[in-house]
DNA sequence: CGAAGATTGATCGTTTTCGATCATTTTCCA
DNA sequence: TGGAAAATGATCGAAAACGATCAATCTTCG
């Protein structure tokens, strides 16, 4: 019997080869889960039997996959299957990205969310880690939110009684955000207590926080300008990557929250930088 | 986590009480089934327990309802509930009437989408009918989109290679859009070829297009100002409602696309207005 | 008013799914 | 290469959902 259904090599793996060089290809599980989400987006519903046949795996594994995906907010379990969540269209690429390092991101988000005080105006940069922070915060009342991330706005929109401001601008597919000069101008009209800033990479040697493109960097700098305290969130994989554009110096931000995987790198940093880091877990 | 679930209910009841009374009330069962379908259109999945609680009926009745609706091709049963089916055409018995509003919106959207030319910049007002238009257009290339509707942006974001601009501003739950002075200022920086404008109600006697709140009206007027041609979309139910705020006069828009259900009302209108209407189907 | 028909609710035995546990296989590093 | 960790599969009792049947209630109309 043919164990796996590889009729089409999903563009997913290509994506990861290009952009996640550090950690290599998707695992079988991630690949499968991404396909499940993809399938759900097309058909709205899949039952467990279908999935076992399609991927030639046991019901136990299917259940585990679905539970995990539900935990990541990518679908909703039902008796005998799962349904698509229709808040916002998520594509499978993002699905896989969300799943990877889910636990670390949740831990980081918990710590970052703890730094937000009641009554704060919170500016959330687009990104999967910031999205986790949004999930932690979206229950709390008396907060005001601003974000340029489509998925973050969608997440926040699920709850009543909060002030939510979406940053306008040109939509970009890569991180599902709004950016460009219009976005920057828009941001500058606000005044935020806390900024949750996503880093694409962190270069401890040079003391820099970086992001994927100059346009993102420019938006990020506008965000920093209008915020009283800057909280950078980055899982450990960000410390061994590099990315194109410099956003700011590490010593100029309030704090960088990361996970235990970055411990060794942080310990090797000079005192001045080291005190900026907070390790979750 | 407690996502809101009660937001559709009120508008549904209003709709049915207001507009179905005259020509013979729906039976309790029909009423219930129609609501189930509407519910599914919005949230993709409902479980049986939820339905028993919402309508205060037994599981047996819920099952019978779902079986019947499945027979009519309006949904698909699952263990413990039902999921939405992305339908094509239905056989026109009891089913046609239930999905009529959906079908009419799709027909209206088809006509409105046909008025958009290649290369156009299209401004899409938030709303379910405009969302249908977005679905028709989102495949086409060489279009530029601007919208203040969260769901519309999400829909458009599913496709590559299009320019999409999201209007920034304060998020409002009622129609899941961004509005307020920031939104208006944002909109005025653009220049659009076509505007797809959602009407909450149309008062033919007074010749007015109306919407639910002054804030929405204000945003709508900004949209009108920057657009070369205004295409209003409204199903026939909008002609027998009334809503709070005036947006503009019918004679000042380019065209109003509606469905055959509004035929009699339109025919009774003075010539000057009548030529503004286009009936889909 | 009252009987026929339709709608709804309750019951019960059967089938399906769930979740937890444990054995087995695979993967990943040191 | 060997061993730990992770992923997967199998099993089984419990819980949930199903369908069918029958009784109770509501509608309709002669």
Identify the band that residue B26 occupies on the pLDDT scale cut at 50, 70 and 90. low
CB A35 within 8 A of CB A99: no
Edge-to-edge order in the sheet of strand B75-78: B45-47, B81-84, B75-78
| Least confidently predicted of A2-11, A219-228, B44-53 | A2-11
Residues of A with CB below 8 A from B166's CB? 150, 166, 168-169, 171, 178
- In sequence order, what are the residues at sequence separation of 6 or more whose Cβ sits closer than 8 angstroms to the Cβ of residue A180? A169, A170, A215, A219
In this prediction, residue A191 carries a pLDDT of 97
A213: which 2 tokens?
Answer: 């493109």
Strand D neighbours among B 231-270, CB < 7 A: none
Taking each helix axis from N to C end, the angle separating B128-137 and B100-114, rounded to the nearest 10 degrees, works out to 50
The DSSP secondary-structure symbol of B235 reads -
In this prediction, residue B122 carries a pLDDT of 98
- Asked whether residue B244, judged by its CB, lies under 7 Å from any atom of the DNA or RNA strand C, the reply is no
In this prediction, residue B9 carries a pLDDT of 27
CB A237 within 8 A of CB A274: no
CB A157 within 8 A of CB A191: no
- Asked whether residue B63, judged by its CB, lies under 7 Å from any atom of the DNA or RNA strand D, the reply is yes
Residues of B with CB below 8 A from A134's CB? none
- Average pLDDT of the residues in B115-130: 94
pLDDT at B32 over 90: no
CB atoms within 10 A of CB A240: 13
In this prediction, residue B75 carries a pLDDT of 86
Residues of A with CB below 8 A from B176's CB? 157
Identify the band that residue B248 occupies on the pLDDT scale cut at 50, 70 and 90. very high
Residues facing residue B178 across a β-bridge = B171
| Chain B: residue whose CA lies nearest to A154 | B150
* Cβ contact A83–B45 (<8 Å): yes
Cβ burial of A117 (10 Å; 0-12, 13-18, 19+) is exposed
Pairing status of strand B277-280 against strand B255-259: parallel
**What is d(CA A227, CA B89) in angstroms, rounded to the nearest whole number?**
53
pLDDT at B13 over 80: no
- Average pLDDT of the residues in A132-158: 89
Burial B196-234 (b: 16+ CB within 10 A, else e): bbbbbbbbbeebbbbbebebbbbbbebbbebbeebbbbb
* Cβ contact A168–B168 (<8 Å): yes
**What is d(CA A189, CA B65) in angstroms, rounded to the nearest whole number?**
52
In this prediction, residue A14 carries a pLDDT of 31
Q: B175 φ, ψ to 5°?
A: -125, 20
pLDDT by residue (tens digit) across B42-70? 778 899 999 998 889 999 999 998 988 88
- Asked whether residue B76, judged by its CB, lies under 7 Å from any atom of the DNA or RNA strand D, the reply is no
Strand C neighbours among A 121-140, CB < 7 A: none
In this prediction, residue B20 carries a pLDDT of 33
Identify the band that residue A276 occupies on the pLDDT scale cut at 50, 70 and 90. very high
In this prediction, residue A52 carries a pLDDT of 92
The residues of B whose Cβ lies within 8 A of any Cβ of A are 1-4, 43-45, 47, 76, 78-81, 83-86, 150-151, 153-158, 160, 163-171, 173, 176, 178, 182-183, 186, 189
B240: which 2 tokens?
Answer: 């027998």
In this prediction, residue B98 carries a pLDDT of 41
Identify the band that residue A223 occupies on the pLDDT scale cut at 50, 70 and 90. very high
Of A280, A236, A235, A276, which is closest to residue A256 (Cα–Cα)? A276
A74: which 2 tokens?
Answer: 């990518």
pLDDT at B269 over 50: yes
Nucleotide of closest approach to A3 (CA, C1')? D8
A68 torsion bin: left (phi>0), alpha (psi -120 to 50), beta (else):
alpha
If you write DSSP's letter for every residue of A178-240 in order, what string do you get?
A: EESHHHHHHHTT--EEEEEEE-SEEETTTTEEEES-HHHHHHHHHHHHTEEEEEEE--GGGGS
Burial B119-150 (b: 16+ CB within 10 A, else e): ebbbbbbbbbbbbbbbbbbbeeeebbbbbbbb
| Least confidently predicted of A72-76, A164-168, A221-225 | A72-76
Report, in ranges, which bases of strand D sit under 7 Å from a protein C-beta. 7-11, 16-21
pTM beyond 0.85, yes or no: no
In this prediction, residue A10 carries a pLDDT of 32
| Least confidently predicted of A12-26, A145-159, A165-179, A195-209 | A12-26
CA-to-C1' span, B47 to D23 (A): 27
- Average pLDDT of the residues in B63-81: 85
Question: Alpha carbon of A259 to those of A250, A264, A266: distances in Å?
Answer: 17, 11, 11
């Amino acid at each position: 019997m043919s164990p796996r259904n590889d009729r089409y090599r999903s563009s997913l793996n290509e994506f990861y080869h290009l952009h996640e060089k550090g950690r290599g290809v998707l695992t079988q599980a991630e690949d499968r889960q991404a396909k499940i989400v993809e399938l759900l987006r097309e058909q709205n519903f899949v039952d467990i039997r279908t999935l076992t046949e399609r991927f030639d795996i046991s019901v136990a594994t299917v259940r585990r996959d679905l539970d995990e995906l539900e935990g990541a907010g990518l679908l909703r379990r039902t008796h005998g299957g799962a349904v698509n969540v229709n808040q916002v269209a998520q594509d499978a690429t993002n699905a896989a990205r969300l799943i990877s390092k889910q636990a670390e991101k949740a831990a980081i988000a918990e710590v970052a969310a703890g730094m937000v005080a009641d009554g704060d105006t919170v500016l959330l940069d687009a990104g999967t880690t910031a999205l986790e922070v949004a999930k932690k915060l979206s229950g709390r009342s008396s907060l005001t939110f601003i974000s340029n991330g489509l998925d973050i706005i969608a997440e926040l929109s699920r709850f009543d009684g909060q002030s939510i401001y979406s940053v306008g601008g040109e939509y970009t597919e890569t991180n599902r955000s709004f950016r460009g000069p219009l976005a920057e101008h828009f941001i500058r009209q606000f005044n935020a207590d806390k900024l949750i800033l996503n880093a694409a990479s962190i270069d401890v040697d040079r003391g820099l926080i970086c992001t994927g493109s100059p346009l993102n960097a420019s938006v990020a700098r506008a965000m920093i300008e209008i915020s009283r305290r800057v909280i950078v969130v980055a899982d450990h994989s960000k410390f061994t990557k590099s990315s194109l554009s410099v956003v700011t110096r590490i010593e100029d931000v309030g704090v960088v929250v990361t996970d235990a995987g970055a411990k060794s790198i942080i310990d090797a940093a000079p005192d001045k930088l080291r005190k900026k880091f907070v390790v979750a877990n």
